[in-house]
Structure formats: C-alpha cells, structure tokens
C-alpha cells in the first residue's frame, strides 16, 4: 500500500508560514507551561524580583536597549537565505521540521545539559533513545538489554562525530597491545583464541578485529571476576600502557616493530577527516586517499592498497566509506568494503570500518519497513524511475555490518542546528576503550559493576568527546523520531520526495542538454545516487577551461547567495563546487572533458586551469513539485537556467571579470 504522505503538510512551518497558527498556538501553550512550572516550585516563596523594579530608570533603560538590540538582530536575520522556499536548491539545508523546532524551542528555557543526568532532567534519556532509534534505522542491535547493543549519541555536527569515530577506533585498535603489556606486568596467564596472549606479536594484536578486541577485554575481565585487588592492579597497568596515556610517540617508541597506522578513505572525503587526523596526532599524511570511479570509492584500488599494506606490515586502523559525498551525494560501495574487511581479517589484516553517512544516513529510513525489517529493493524501486541502483541498495543494506556510523540530523533529518550530528557504534562496549573516570561529576566507580546500559550512558560525558551539550537538541531529535518514525512510511517520505524531484531535475537537464546541443555542452559529470545533482556547462567550440569557468560563474552569479541583492530579486538558489580533472582516473577525466568539448577524443588534453566549475543542486524541499497549485519549481528552475545560459552566450562581457577561480568548493 502506498503510504499517505499528506501528514507532511503539518510537518513544517512552511514557505508561506502556512502553519503559523499551529506553530504559534503550540509554542505559546508550551512556553506558558514552562512558566507555570517555575511558579509551582515553592509558590509561597516571594518573587525575588519585585514588581516595582519595573519602574526603575535602569530597568526601563535596559529593556529599551534589549528591544533595540533584538530588533537589530531580526533586521540582520531578514537577510537570511530563504531555506524554506522551493526556490532554494543550494546547500544541504532546508526548513527544519516543526516537531524538532518546537521541541527545541520549548526545551531551551529549562536549560538541560546532557553531559550527565545530574544536569539534564529527562533529556539525557531522550538522547540515549535517539541513539537506539538511529541504531534501528541502520540495522544495528538496538535492544538495550542485549550485551552487544549499539550506542549512539548526538554531537554538534558530522565533523565531531567523525573525530569521535577515529578517537574510539584508535583506542580500540591499540587496546590489545596495552592489554598484553598489562597481562605481563601483572604476571597473568590469559588464553585467547586458544593461544597464550604472550605469544601474539604486535602486528597480530593490532590486527585483531573490533569484535575480537572487545572479546579479549571481556576475557581478561572474566578471568579476574571476584578478585577486586587483581582487577584494580590490572586496570592500573592497562591504563598506564595505553596510547592515550603514553601518546603516539612514546607508544610507538616502546613498540619499535609496529609502524604507524594508516586510514583509508576515498578522495571525496569531507575535510573533517584531515582535521581529525591532525587532531589525534595521526598526521594527515596517514590519511590515504583512494581513487574513485564515478565519485565512489574504487574498491579494486582499495584492495590493492590493503594488499600492499599487508605485505609491508603497515597497519590499517580503519577504512572509511562515505554514504553520500558532500559534493555529489554519491554512495561508496559499503558492501564491498565490508566484504574486504571480512576477507582481509581472515588473512590477518584486521581493520575497523566506519561509514561517514553525515549526508546519506537518513536515506536508510526509506529502506525500512515500519516493523524495522529491510524492504526488498523491488519495493523501494516502485516509487522511482532510477533509484535505488543495485549498488545503492547493497550499500545501504550493508550498514548493519559496519563498526560505526556518522549521521547528521541537521541534514536529511531536517532538524535545526544544535542537533547537528550523531555518532553510532554497532556495539556499545566499543566505548569502554575511551571511558573517563571523573569522580567530581560521576558516581562512585564501585557502583558501576552492575550498572545497566541506561545507567551507564546517563553519565554520557564519560564516553564522548564533548562535555556540556544541549539537552534541547536531544529533545528535538527525539520528538521528531517519535512523530516521524525512521521508516519509509514516515520520515522516509522526505528523502523519497527529494529523490523523486532529483530524478525529475535529471531528466529535465538531459532534455536541456539536447536542446542546447551545438550551442552549449550541458554535462552531468557523475550519475547521481541520491538527491544531489551537479552539472557543468561549456559554450560549444570553447577549449579553454578558464573561459568555461568564467562563463559558468557568470551564470551562477544569478543563482548564488548575494547579500547585496534584494532577496525578492532572486528567482532561484543553487550552489557550486569545483571538480579537479587531474585527480580523476584518466578514462574518467577524458570522458568528462570530452563531453564538455574541452579536449578532443583520445587526446591527453592539458587544461589552462586545474579545476572546472560545476553547478550543484541539493533538493530537499518537499514542495518542489507543488501539485495543488500546479507549479513545478524544478521545471521552472530549468527554464530559468536555460534562459540564463542563452543570455550569457549571446551577451558575453567585454573584458574577463572573473575566471571562476574565486568560487571555492562547498564546505558543508
């Protein structure tokens, strides 16, 4: 049965603030509720701010200054980009969902801090629930009573979730080495997988899989069950021999035979990965960029690199797959990465797999039944012309087998910033390797022995990178996931509409390319996987990439955010990015440059600049095809774009004002 998506009409404030009444009524009602809550706490206490204070000159003066500054603020805010309009198809952002917006606004006055349950009223439990909801969407174990239940929590954004992934995975990969040292120091005898732990060399220990590292830690703990003194001595020895205690330099100095590890990720990596490597002292030289094929990781090249690493004894800390690249929305073949992980683990090269699904994580909702089961591909396909390709389907289905995932609620979760990102790991015990003991915030460690999952994570700050964090953000995500569960019939309707609109845009661009043949080369360099579409333009006969960029940039000048221009004067918004042909595989490079007429067939073709300008569209608005008013904004956009292109072709500027080099890539 086709789900009825008309509930979406109640889900946003709306481009015309159509749901103004609903929004205002709920907001006022629930803010008043907060006021009564304050008054009902010891109502007999006299109000510390006396009523006559309002007559003080200083009070009156303050209020008028406050009003003035707030008005100046709203004046500034009115220059914002109209993200709620179906005329906006630029960056990865849209009108936030009303449930999240309201929940966040009404929670803020309570000011909960989700660093620990002491500071957070009820919102920390909501954050733990959000982690479980996301785990369910991804296919991870999500029964908190299960020993291997997943764990997830919110971060300020995908960037910090990526930092955290690398932080946890590093701790876990190095843990078996520290365990071996601690076992030696404490003169213990531990047998693991049928062998004495002492007999393992550094290479073998580093190459234990994530699951084996967890199992090894549990084996040691079980062996010391009931002997508190022994356990304490062991934990102390473990602590003082971990990489987190010694630092990379001393740790590797002590383990001279172990080379520093690498992290493998596609060239399309978001720049947060470079920052993560710098931050953890791994050095971004050790972030090895894999070539791509159609902006998806080339897994043959990955396999070759793994093989080289294995033969040269270079440890691989993690392979990171990208589910929805920032520039093109393309999905790495996660299933292939998982297959390689399993195969290489057998061959003694064990690495973790993280998926950066900051953009594409919520696409998984489209693949879930309400029961939580994975939908068959044929069923998902029914709503689309092209989506999902077999590769896209397999990639999403394979999420359940990876070790950890980054998902951004502020992107395809349509949530307001604050609940920017989320880090989810397949097994909550992975967080043991980073747990902090902070007695002044948290409970007595002795109580932890029999802690439940929930009691443990109510001390959230012990397990995560960040400290104080907004409980209001957790409330926003929780209420959104409750009102729009993460399955195809509810939240999944949003990515469904946005992918349908993208398929429409794709078809229209192809038509435009045919109409403009002979005048302008209109070329989609990479087939889209989801709801992002990039397109490049070059006037026919032109072979200068600089000239092409200048042309495309002059067209883009009508579509970009320009604070100097009145908003109403702008028809549509898109975004842009730069493509670096020399970073592509040679066949792909010539395919694209050829289609754009920059080089002839079978020519190496040296360009006069190293990048080409590409128009980028992110389609998130559910009303891009307004059936009630019969306005097809996607089609209107395409005719607008076509007229801009024709106009630019007919009226080239006298002098070159801009060669297109000033327009950087997108930094979402």
Contacting positions for ligand PLP (CB under 6 A): 157-159, 162, 270, 272, 322, 326, 356, 358-359, 408, 420-421, 668
Considering the complex, what minimum distance in angstroms separates the CB of residue 89 from ligand PLP? 17
Q: Which is nearer to ligand PLP, 322 or 484 (CB)?
A: 322
Q: Which of 609, 606, 608, 584 is CA-nearest to residue 526?
A: 584
Structure tokens at 500: 């349908």
Q: Which is nearer to ligand PLP, 158 or 528 (CB)?
A: 158
Q: Which is nearer to ligand PLP, 59 or 417 (CB)?
A: 417
Considering the complex, what minimum distance in angstroms separates the CB of residue 158 from ligand PLP? 3
Considering the complex, what minimum distance in angstroms separates the CB of residue 411 from ligand PLP? 6
Q: Which is nearer to ligand PLP, 255 or 617 (CB)?
A: 617
Q: Which of 503, 158, 543 is CA-nearest to residue 355?
A: 158
Structure tokens at 330: 């393309």
Whose tokens are 């300008």? That residue is 613
Considering the complex, what minimum distance in angstroms separates the CB of residue 559 from ligand PLP? 21
Determine the Cα–Cα distance for residues 172 and 166; give it in Å rounded to an integer.
Answer: 10
**DSSP secondary structure letters along 287-322:** EEEEPEETTEE-HHHHHHHHHHHHHHT--EEEEEEE
CB 81 within 8 A of CB 562: no
Considering the complex, what minimum distance in angstroms separates the CB of residue 492 from ligand PLP? 19
Determine the Cα–Cα distance for residues 14 and 12; give it in Å rounded to an integer.
Answer: 5
Considering the complex, what minimum distance in angstroms separates the CB of residue 273 from ligand PLP? 8
Q: Residue of minimal CB distance from ligand PLP? A: 158
Cα distances (angstroms) measured from residue 164 to each of 51, 208, 422, 470, 612? 49, 20, 10, 18, 34
In sequence order, what are the residues at sequence separation of 6 or more whose Cβ sits closer than 8 angstroms to the Cβ of residue 329? 359, 360, 528, 529, 530, 531, 532, 533, 618
Considering the complex, what minimum distance in angstroms separates the CB of residue 302 from ligand PLP? 18
Q: Which is nearer to ligand PLP, 422 or 598 (CB)?
A: 422
CB 72 within 8 A of CB 432: no
CB 374 within 8 A of CB 139: yes
Q: Which is nearer to ligand PLP, 62 or 271 (CB)?
A: 271
Q: Which is nearer to ligand PLP, 358 or 641 (CB)?
A: 358
Q: Which is nearer to ligand PLP, 127 or 144 (CB)?
A: 127
Considering the complex, what minimum distance in angstroms separates the CB of residue 613 from ligand PLP? 20
- Number of C-alpha atoms within 13 angstroms, CB side, residue 431? 26
Phi, psi of 80 (to 5 degrees): -65, 160
CA 343 to chain CA centroid, nearest Å:
27
Q: Which is nearer to ligand PLP, 328 or 537 (CB)?
A: 328
Q: Which is nearer to ligand PLP, 292 or 326 (CB)?
A: 326
**Positive or negative, the Cα torsion across 621, 626, 632, 633?**
negative
Considering the complex, what minimum distance in angstroms separates the CB of residue 205 from ligand PLP? 31
Q: Which of 244, 237, 259 is CA-nearest to residue 179?
A: 237
Exposure class string for 26-41: b at 16+ Cβ within 10 A, else e: beeeeeeeeeeeeeee
Q: Which is nearer to ligand PLP, 268 or 299 (CB)?
A: 268
CB 563 within 8 A of CB 79: yes
Structure tokens at 276: 């993560």
Phi, psi of 405 (to 5 degrees): -140, 140
- Expressed in angstroms, the distance from the first to the final Cα of the chain is 37
Q: Which is nearer to ligand PLP, 153 or 554 (CB)?
A: 153
CB 90 within 8 A of CB 625: no
Q: Which is nearer to ligand PLP, 272 or 365 (CB)?
A: 272
Q: Which is nearer to ligand PLP, 159 or 500 (CB)?
A: 159
CB 270 within 8 A of CB 276: no
- Strands 195-196, 191-192: pairing kind: antiparallel
Considering the complex, what minimum distance in angstroms separates the CB of residue 166 from ligand PLP? 12
Determine the Cα–Cα distance for residues 476 and 561; give it in Å rounded to an integer.
Answer: 28
Q: Give the dihedral of Cα atoms 413, 415, 419, 422; nearest 10 deg.
A: 0
Considering the complex, what minimum distance in angstroms separates the CB of residue 265 from ligand PLP? 10
Considering the complex, what minimum distance in angstroms separates the CB of residue 421 from ligand PLP? 5
Percentage helix, strand, coil for the chain under 3-state DSSP, each rounded to 5: 50, 10, 40
Q: Which is nearer to ligand PLP, 358 or 520 (CB)?
A: 358
Q: Which of 493, 293, 468, 304 is CA-nearest to residue 380?
A: 493
Considering the complex, what minimum distance in angstroms separates the CB of residue 412 from ligand PLP? 10
Considering the complex, what minimum distance in angstroms separates the CB of residue 392 from ligand PLP? 16
Considering the complex, what minimum distance in angstroms separates the CB of residue 424 from ligand PLP? 14
Considering the complex, what minimum distance in angstroms separates the CB of residue 479 from ligand PLP? 20
Considering the complex, what minimum distance in angstroms separates the CB of residue 350 from ligand PLP? 25
Structure tokens at 498: 């946005």
Q: Which is nearer to ligand PLP, 356 or 632 (CB)?
A: 356
Exposure class string for 143-157: b at 16+ Cβ within 10 A, else e: ebeeeebbbbbbbbb
| Residue 662 DSSP code | T
Structure tokens at 373: 């089961």
Q: Which is nearer to ligand PLP, 403 or 648 (CB)?
A: 403
């Amino acid at each position: 049965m086709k789900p009825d998506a008309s509930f979406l009409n109640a889900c946003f404030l709306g481009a015309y603030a159509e749901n103004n009444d609903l929004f205002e009524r709920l907001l006022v009602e629930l803010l008043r509720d907060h006021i009564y809550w304050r008054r009902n706490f010891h109502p007999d206490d006299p109000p510390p701010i006396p009523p006559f204070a309002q007559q003080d000159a200083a009070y009156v003066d303050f209020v008028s200054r406050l009003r003035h500054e707030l008005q100046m603020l709203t004046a500034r805010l009115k220059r914002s980009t109209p993200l709620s309009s179906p005329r906006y198809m630029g960056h990865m952002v849209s009108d936030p969902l009303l449930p999240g917006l309201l929940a966040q606004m009404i929670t803020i006055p309570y000011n909960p801090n989700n660093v620990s349950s002491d500071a957070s009223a009820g919102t920390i439990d909501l954050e733990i629930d959000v982690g479980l909801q996301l785990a369910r969407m991804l296919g991870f174990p999500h029964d908190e009573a299960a020993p291997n239940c997943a764990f997830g929590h919110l971060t300020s954004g995908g960037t910090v979730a990526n930092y955290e992934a690398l932080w946890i995975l590093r701790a876990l990969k190095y843990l078996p080495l520290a365990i071996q040292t601690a076992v030696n120091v404490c003169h213990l005898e531990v047998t693991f997988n049928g062998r004495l732990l002492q007999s393992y060399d550094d290479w073998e220990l580093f190459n234990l899989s994530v699951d084996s590292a967890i199992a090894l830690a549990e084996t040691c703990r079980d062996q010391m069950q009931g002997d508190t003194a022994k356990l304490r001595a062991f934990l102390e020895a473990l602590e003082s021999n971990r990489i987190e205690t010694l630092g990379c330099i001393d740790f590797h100095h002590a383990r001279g035979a172990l080379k520093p590890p690498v992290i493998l990720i596609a060239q399309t990596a978001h720049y947060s990965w470079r920052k993560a490597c710098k931050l953890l002292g791994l050095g971004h030289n050790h972030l090895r960029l894999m070539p791509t094929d159609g902006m998806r990781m080339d897994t043959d090249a990955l396999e070759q690199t793994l093989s080289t690493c294995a033969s040269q004894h270079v440890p691989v800390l993690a392979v990171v797959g990208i589910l929805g690249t920032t520039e093109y929305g393309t999905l790495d073949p996660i299933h292939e990465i998982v297959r390689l992980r399993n195969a290489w683990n057998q061959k003694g090269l064990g690495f973790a797999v993280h998926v950066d699904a900051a953009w594409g994580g919520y696409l998984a909702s489209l693949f879930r039944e309400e029961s939580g089961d994975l939908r068959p591909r044929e069923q998902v396909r029914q709503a689309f012309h092209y989506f999902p390709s077999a590769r896209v389907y397999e990639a999403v289905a394979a999420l359940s087998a990876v070790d950890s995932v980054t998902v951004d609620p502020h992107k395809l979760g349509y949530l307001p910033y604050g609940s920017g990102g989320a880090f989810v790991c397949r097994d909550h015990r992975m967080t043991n390797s980073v747990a902090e003991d902070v007695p002044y915030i948290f409970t007595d460690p002795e109580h932890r022995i029999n802690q439940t999952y929930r009691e443990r994570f109510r001390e959230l700050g012990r397990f995560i990178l960040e400290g104080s964090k907004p409980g209001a953000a957790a409330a926003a995500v929780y209420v959104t996931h409750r009102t729009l569960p993460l399955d195809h019939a509810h939240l999944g309707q949003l990515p469904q509409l946005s992918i349908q609109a993208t398929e429409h845009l794709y078809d229209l661009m192809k038509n435009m390319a045919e109409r403009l043949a002979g005048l302008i080369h209109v070329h989609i360099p990479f087939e889209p996987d989801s709801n992002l579409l990039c397109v490049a333009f070059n006037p026919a006969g032109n072979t200068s990439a600089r000239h092409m960029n200048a042309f495309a940039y002059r067209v883009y000048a009508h579509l970009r955010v320009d604070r100097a221009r009145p908003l109403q004067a702008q028809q549509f918004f898109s975004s842009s990015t730069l493509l670096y042909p020399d970073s592509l595989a040679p066949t792909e490079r010539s395919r694209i440059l050829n289609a754009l007429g920059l080089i002839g067939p079978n020519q190496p073709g040296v360009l006069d600049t190293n990048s080409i300008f590409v128009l980028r569209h992110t389609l998130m608005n559910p009303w891009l095809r307004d059936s009630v008013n019969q306005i097809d904004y996607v089609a209107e956009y395409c005719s607008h774009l076509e007229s801009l292109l024709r106009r630019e072709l007919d009226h080239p500027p006298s002098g070159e004002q801009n060669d297109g080099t000033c327009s950087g890539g997108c930094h979402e």
